[in-house]
A and B are shown apart, each in its own frame.
Chain A
Amino acid sequence: MGDGAGLREAEVICAREAMSDHREPELYHAGEPESDVDEESDGLAGSGEVTDENCLLKKLEINVSEAEKRTGKNAVNMQETYTAYLIETRSLDGQPDTQNSPMDSLWRRYSEFELLRNYLSVSYPFVVVPPLPEKRAEFVWHKLSADNMDPDFVERRRIGLENFLLRVASHPVLSHDNIFTLFLTQDNGWKEAVNEANLQVKADSRLKSLNATFRVKNPDKRFTELKHYSDELQSVISHLLRVRARVADRLYGVYKVHGNYGRVFSEWSAIEKEMGDGLQSAGHHMDVYAASIDDILEEEEHYADQLKEYLFYAEALRAVCRKHELMQYDLEMSAQDLASKKQQCEELATGTVRTFSLKGMTSKLFGQETPEQRESKIKLLEEQIEEGQEQLKVQNAESREFVKNSWLEIERFKDQKNRDLKEALISYAVMQISMCKKGIQVWTNAKECFSKM
């Protein structure tokens, strides 16, 4: 298996059907799910499997281990500061001593990750491509800095980038991509390789115009539902993250104000004789309590990051739906075009005008064409019709393949999402339990001090 584009061609060739010329252009019938899993689709894992045995992650250990501030010249030749991330890889080819062999490494910055992801999105439109960690800090509560250079932000981004690479490397389709492998291993010349590969699919830059609205006559109900779901997921997760940030902010306030108790108790203990010791030691516990919120909220940030990943995944999901819509639209346009050409041909051949056309009007007004002209027109149209039919066949087949592949991918994604989110929710509960236990301990200690006053 080569890169992604090669994979798609192979599928299309397998699935092409023979069609007779007189059949109506076959549109993909909306609502008909492909129930059979194509056994020949190598590399696409069936639903329920976590990782494909052939995926890259089984063969290669991947880490994003460090982050470093750099300065350099940007595209417009101006000085800029950016952060570079160290990607370390090591082959896991079965030998027992590979654990200790040195790791290969190279440095990449965030914009290169973006380039990789764009390439993958365009090359594998039916794949729900894993998202990158956020470009700018959002859903910030007051303590966190919104600054991209802030060490906490950089650290969380490092983890997010590693997560991204691991997800791609464990993906049944994406992990086989050559450009991805080069990203991990080839320092120089990677960007050029990407640009070359991109030339093939630059024609699909119409994907960029996804913002444009277009009407699909026979939308696939499943994709429409999926789009709704991705919208809902995005909306609910962003709402959740916003409120969570506010909750965190308030909780921070509660804990930190208790720190003031610590200070005052300590000062007060200086003027008391009997109560002094009790106050002093209780004050210490108040300080401990106030300080404990920092770790608690840092852990919660990890939970927020897990949710954020799926917030961005929703975007990727929607992209797949939009791609399908675009294909469907193109298909409908082609079919429409073919139908109108056939009709024109028929009209010219039989001489009847069934529908209004400008040509018909002008010919009526300015005189009919000569039989020779008519003949050449009909010939031209017949050629076009044959081309159109071939194109429609291809488009239909492509569309069917897309739906089949994307639906498998979506099922895989759904399982992954359910697993990951459940784990995140459970981990949140575990965090709450830990927080309660800490609280019980500190206040039990404080209570003991108070009771000894």
Chain B
Amino acid sequence: MEPEPVTVPVDGSPGYSITPTNPLLLVSVPLSPDALRLDEDDDLEVFSKDTTLTDGNSFSPLLLASPSSMTNQYKFEDEPDAKDIFITVDEPESHINAIETFITYRVATKTSRSQFDSSEFEVRRRYQDFLWLKSRLEEAHPTLIIPPLPEKFIVKGMVERFTDEFIETRRKALHKFLNRIADHPTLTFNEDFKIFLTAQAWELTSHKKQGPGLFSRMGQTIKAVASSVRGVKNRPEEFAELGEYVDAFNQKISVLDKISQRIYKEQKDYNEELKEYGPIYTLWSASEEELVDTLKGMAGCIDKSCKDTNALNAKISQDLIPIIHEYVLYSETLTGVQKRRDQIQAELDAKVEASNNKKTDRDTLQEEIDKLEDKVECANNALKADWERWKQNMQADIKITFTNMAENRINYYEECLATWESFLSSQKWDFQMEIKQEDKS
């Protein structure tokens, strides 16, 4: 699939300051009335909200293609084997100005794709920008499973919004987010994605402005609310099954999330107690004569176990918990994707019902109905294919994550085993000596 090259219009309209590229001098953009201006621009054809037919690829003009040919698109059998784009998210930096404090992250891209003007890009993005990208992707591909973003912020227990831990967790999640998009056979070629990776701050800002504004988004919401009532009723069986699975999965994964976090906490508490435990043996050794070596040895073993427990817990925090949590966040996506599919179908069903009731205008209605039928079929096929892909990814992720979790624990126990065994062998050797001395006397 070769996407057509699209140029990004550059808007030099007043009201936006041109910011320097040095991220440290980033100045926040004041919210002016211009921000809400919805300019009509000829170049915006590509980004029009006419989602009557296109669904997957924003670039291919498949306005009148048959459903079957479109089905082929979504089989994803020809996924590129070699990765041709590498994205990293790192270097969080804090920015303080009169209005707010926020964090930007460096997004570095290396790619060999011809659609990109160069092979390396480096931009700074803030969380808002990621939110924007996600909503753009959702709009462009309503029945594709868009990767989740980390939560906005966790209110409970945090006095300061941005602790180092929080920032690091978020950074890793954002990194994951972009890479999942890059790995997705359709999303990876999305134009907004490319802009996100490459545009300088001011370019992005102006581009954001040009997207479908609040009003059309509001219109969508109204439509969604109206049709959601009818949506789920006529779900085809396969999607009903999918829905049931999603509900069950969401429940299981959120419990797994809780369990994993609890294990982390319990182990942390255990570690805290261990820290106090070892030194008592050392203290004791100070009062003893014969038992000094043994007691000191015990203290050493316990202290080592303490370190090992800490290392294991760090792995849980870095490897296990983020993945499980990402799949918890996926639940919202999965639910949303189903709703949107239902909504598209509801539109069709409404038109069909209208056509049945109104004897007149049947021909015009029929044309609309045909369009909508195609739309529904596209949507269903897109979702089906992406669902299969998602499931496979999920299984692979879960398998790797839990296998690693088990591996980490095995290594932990092996470390502890070695510690205690070497202590024991040193003591047993002394025992041998004592027995020999007793024999002599």
Contact = CB atoms under 8 A, between A and B. Distances in A.
Interface of A: 48, 229, 232-233, 236-237, 239-240, 243-244, 246-247, 250-251, 253-254, 257-258, 260-261, 264, 267-268, 271, 274-275, 278, 282, 418, 421-422, 425-426, 428-430, 432-433, 436-437, 439-440, 443-444, 446-447, 450-451, 453
Main DSSP-derived SS at the A contact region: helix
A453 B395 contact: yes
Given A261-B259, A450-B403, A432 B420 contact: yes
A223 to B, nearest CB: 16
Contacts of B424: 426, 429-430, 433
Interface stretch (B159-167, B218-226, B266-274, B340-348): B266-274
B256 interface: yes
Interface string B304-339: 010000000000000000000000000000000000
A134 B437 CA distance: 36
B239 to A, nearest CB: 16
Nearest to A244: B277
Contact of B413 (A233, A236, A268, A440): A440
Contact of A253 (B269, B274, B398): B269
A432 B301 contact: yes
A119 B428 CA distance: 40
6 contacts: A250-B266, A264-B259, A425-B295, A432-B305, A433-B421, A447-B410
A243 B273 contact: yes
Nearest to B246: A271
A97 B416 CA distance: 49
Interface size class of B (residues with CB under 8 A): 35 or more
A436 B416 contact: yes
B280 A240 contact: yes
Contacts of A453: 395, 398-399, 402
Interface string B252-279: 1001100100110011011001101100
Contacts of A246: 273
Contact of A247 (B249, B273, B298): B273
Nearest to A453: B399
Contact of A446 (B266, B287, B406): B406
B245 interface: yes
B409 interface: yes
Interface of B: 245, 248-249, 252, 255-256, 259, 262-263, 266-267, 269-270, 273-274, 276-277, 280-281, 283-284, 287, 290-291, 294-295, 298, 301, 305, 395, 398-399, 402-403, 405-407, 409-410, 412-414, 416-417, 420-421, 423-424, 427-428, 438, 441
Contacts of B395: 274-275, 453
B266 A268 contact: no
A428 B299 CA distance: 12
B417 A233 contact: no
Given A260-B262, A264-B259, 10 more contacts: A247-B274, A247-B277, A250-B269, A253-B269, A254-B270, A282-B402, A429-B298, A436-B416, A443-B413, A447-B410
A229 B287 CA distance: 7
A450 B406 contact: yes
B259 A436 contact: no
Contacts of B273: 243, 246-247, 250
Question: Main SS of chain B's interface residues?
Answer: helix
Given A257-B263, A271-B249, A447-B403, A240 B417 contact: no
A375 B344 CA distance: 132
A343 B377 CA distance: 124
A257 B280 contact: no
Nearest to B262: A257
B294 A422 contact: yes
A79 B412 CA distance: 55
Contacts of A426: 294, 424, 427-428
A141 B290 CA distance: 31
Contacts of A439: 409-410, 412-413
A315 to B, nearest CB: 16
3 tightest A-B contacts by CB? A447-B406, A250-B270, A436-B417
Given A425-B298, A432-B416, A240 B399 contact: no
B420 A436 contact: yes
B287 A232 contact: yes
A93 B294 CA distance: 40
Contacts of A275: 395, 398-399
A432 B302 CA distance: 10
B248 A271 contact: yes
Contacts of A251: 270
Nearest to A258: B263
Contact of A243 (B277, B291, B410): B277
A440 B410 contact: yes
A275 B406 CA distance: 17
Contact of B252 (A264, A421, A451): A264
Q: Which of B248, B405, B406 has the most CB atoms of chain A within a 10 A radius of its CB? A: B406
A443 B249 contact: no
Contact of B406 (A257, A421, A443): A443
A254 B274 CA distance: 13
Contacts of A48: 438, 441
B267 A254 contact: yes
A278 B395 CA distance: 11
A453 B394 CA distance: 12
> Quick one: which of A233, A244, A275, A425 has the most chain B CB within 10 A?
A425
A299 to B, nearest CB: 14
Task: Identify the interface centre among A233, A237, A253, A429: most chain B CB within 10 Å of its CB.
Answer: A429
Contact of A257 (B259, B274, B298, B402): B259
Contacts of B298: 425, 428-429
Contact of B255 (A264, A430, A443): A264
Given A236-B287, A239-B280, A260-B259, A429 B417 contact: no
